[in-house]
Amino acid sequence: MPMPLAEHSATIEDVARRAGVSTATVSRVINQSGPVDAATITRVQTAMRELKYIPRTAARNLASRKTNTLGLLLTDIQGDFFAPMLSGVESAARAAGYDLLIATTNVRAPRAPFPSILGPQNTDGLLVFINSLGSAGLEHYHELGFPVVLIHQSSPEGLNIPCVTVENKAAAKKLIDHLIEVHQRRHIAFLRGPEDQQDSHWRALGYKQSLEAHGLAVDPGLIASGEFDRAIAAHAVKQLLESGVEFGVLDALQHAVKRVPEEISVVGFDDQRLSAYLTPPLTTVRAPTERVGSEAVRQLVQLIQTRQADPLTLLPTEMIIRRSCGCVLP
């Protein structure tokens, strides 16, 4: 039969009384915020232990006018992304002495009357994940001078909000370079993500740059919209095939999907968990997602504490070569 507990638990005053000191002194030993006699420290610590004292966060926050909390704004579900990202954010935040408050929103379907869930009222700064906030929201925080760091999304023009993301363009370029240089591919279709998504924007650019660098024409007919969606992507590929594109290989693909990578090479982004177990194993680009998270925290903490951060942090990716591109591995 549990009882209301808040009333029963010790406050700083109880500790002070038991240790025979003032609450100011107790506060000093808790926060190491001022000189305290060694013997006094011991007495206070003993009292805290005996009373199982834990400072109430709300009281500290109110008195110190800080929340010591970081906010993380997320969209619904990010697939394999999620776990490493959160892990990076959480451990970095904790290590820097901050709590982590999480909320999910979506630019496309804003839930609550905007800026209210996470903001100056409950956090010292915010990590904003791609697509969780529109530019109106970002502007709002900007006007307040409230620290925000963007993840996988660059700042709206003029606001100069620091951003942490991944080398998408270079990665796409490397991937296409590989197909062209190592596997002599010349007709390379590109299944791109949403237009308004920055990751896919940069990847498309990398794709084009690689083609151009090799003197190959960019054929708009070879760029289809996959929208990062299974069904849409499948449909797009079908269209590509039916459109009569001059592709012996694609025709072959249509009738004998198994001819990967002999007739057609396939490469992808995001090294998902079972990528290595597909048939054939998929060559992909792996992003340092956990580091993106921790790096974003680092920037945010810096922004909070020094009022400045790096405008853009671009983390390198890694190309994971497997069978699907045509490489023969031991």
Residues at the contact surface with its own copies, assessed by CB under 8 A = 2-6, 9, 54-59, 61-62, 65, 67, 69, 74, 76-84, 86-87, 90-91, 94, 99-104, 111, 115-117, 119-122, 144-147, 272-275, 277-279, 307
Nearer to its own copies, 217 or 231 (CB): 231
Distance, CA of 26 to CA of 15 (rounded, Å): 7
Binding DNA by CB under 7 A: which of 1, 5, 32, 35?
35
Q: Tell me: does residue 62 bind DNA (CB under 7 A).
A: yes
User: Minimum Å distance from CB 308 to its own copies?
Assistant: 9
Amino acid symbol at 42: T
Q: Tell me: does residue 156 bind DNA (CB under 7 A).
A: no
Q: Tell me: does residue 63 bind DNA (CB under 7 A).
A: yes
User: Minimum Å distance from CB 58 to its own copies?
Assistant: 4
User: Minimum Å distance from CB 99 to its own copies?
Assistant: 6
- Report whether 40 contacts 24 (CB < 8 A): no
Task: Report the Cα–Cα distance between both ends of the chain, in Å, rounded.
Answer: 64
Phi first, then psi: give them for residue 216, nearest 5 degrees: -100, 145
C-alpha torsion sign, points 85, 86, 91, 94? positive
Distance, CA of 329 to CA of 211 (rounded, Å): 26
The alpha-helical segments, DSSP class H, found in 214-247 are: 230-242
- Report whether 206 contacts 180 (CB < 8 A): no
Q: Tell me: does residue 142 bind DNA (CB under 7 A).
A: no
H or E element, residue 306: helix 289-306
Binding DNA by CB under 7 A: which of 20, 244, 311, 316?
20
Q: What is the DSSP letter of 325?
A: T
User: Minimum Å distance from CB 122 to DNA?
Assistant: 11
Q: Which of the choices DNA, its own copies, none does residue 145 contact, using the CB cut-off of 5 to 8 A by kind?
A: its own copies
Q: Tell me: does residue 31 bind DNA (CB under 7 A).
A: yes
Q: What is the DSSP letter of 188?
A: -
Distance, CA of 284 to CA of 268 (rounded, Å): 5
Q: Which of the choices its own copies, DNA, none does residue 77 contact, using the CB cut-off of 5 to 8 A by kind?
A: its own copies
Q: Tell me: does residue 59 bind DNA (CB under 7 A).
A: yes
Nearer to its own copies, 177 or 290 (CB): 290
User: Minimum Å distance from CB 36 to DNA?
Assistant: 4
Strands of the sheet containing 283-286, edge to edge, are 267-269, 283-286, 318-320
Q: Tell me: does residue 28 bind DNA (CB under 7 A).
A: yes
Of the candidates 194, 177, 193, the one whose C-alpha atom is nearest the C-alpha of residue 185 is 177
User: Minimum Å distance from CB 73 to DNA?
Assistant: 22
Q: Give CA separation, 126 vs 150, 218, 292, in Å.
A: 8, 40, 15
User: Minimum Å distance from CB 93 to DNA?
Assistant: 19
Interacting residues with DNA (CB under 7 A): 6-7, 11-13, 20-28, 30-31, 33-37, 39-40, 53, 55-56, 59-60, 62-65
